[in-house]
Amino acid sequence: MRLIVAQIFCLLMLIIPNLSHGQTAPVVVELFSSQGCSSCPPADQYLVELAQQRNIIALGWHVDYWDYIGWEDIFAHPAFTERQKAYARVMNERMIYTPQFIVNGAESSGSGHRAEVAALIQKYAQRAPGADLFIRRMGASYDITLQNAYYSGPYDVHLVSVTPVETVEIYSGENAGRRLDYANIVTEWHSLGRWDGLQPARFETGALGPGRYAVLVQYQDNGEIVVADWVN
């Protein structure tokens, strides 16, 4: 009998029901930045600090459109630039720029001022998640279960991989001679699929490589992120 109870307890511990209605959910703070941007280091440093907070999923997306001015960002990827462009279309912004903070996929802070970003974080931290998210480890993979959406979808289910910490020496360009710290640098971004929000749905991550991973459930085409959490 004790063995059965222990097995049931271990199974329950594998399930991480962090996010259900009535509870607070981590706030997703995305920073679009570039190592070739002289205005970005203060924002990058702020993201380093935000990444240390347990109630925040801080993501550093490095874009490639400043690479031509003398330093190629070693973390940049064209897909990350496209994500920023998609946000610009949704938010009716006429141009993209760095640094740019976007909170929960819903509101943008182009100034990068800490007080403005902090106010947005506080605003969304007070909201209940828009769906229930359950994460269960299955060997080298993870099982993602979604249910009880407040509103019907469709929702895009994203899996984002990050490198927690990196320090980079910049030898040319606008930040030449500087040694800069970065946190939660996005390295990979995959779609796990789309959820209609009407029926419970399951997704599998597949075997994960090194680094840390987060799952984002976002209204289709770069809408609001309704629920998110760290996978590992």
pLDDT-based confidence at residue 24 (cuts at 50, 70, 90): confident
Strand 225-230: give its sheet, edge to edge.
Answer: 107-109, 100-103, 27-33, 56-62, 179-195, 155-169, 212-219, 225-230
Does residue 171 fall inside a structural domain? yes
Q: Does the pLDDT at position 169 exceed 60? A: yes
Query: How many domains does the structure of the chain reveal?
Result: 1
Does residue 9 fall inside a structural domain? no
Q: Does the pLDDT at position 72 exceed 90? A: yes
Does residue 134 fall inside a structural domain? yes
User: At CA 80, angle to CA 176 and CA 75, rounded to 5?
Assistant: 35
Does residue 3 fall inside a structural domain? no
Which residues share a beta bridge with 218? 156, 225
Q: Does the pLDDT at position 9 exceed 70? A: no
Position 99 scores a pLDDT of: 97
- Mean pLDDT computed over 143-160: 97
- Is there a contact between 191 and 157 (Cβ–Cβ < 8 Å)? yes
Q: How many CB atoms lie within 10 A of CB 24?
A: 14
pTM above 0.85, yes or no: yes
Position 6 scores a pLDDT of: 40
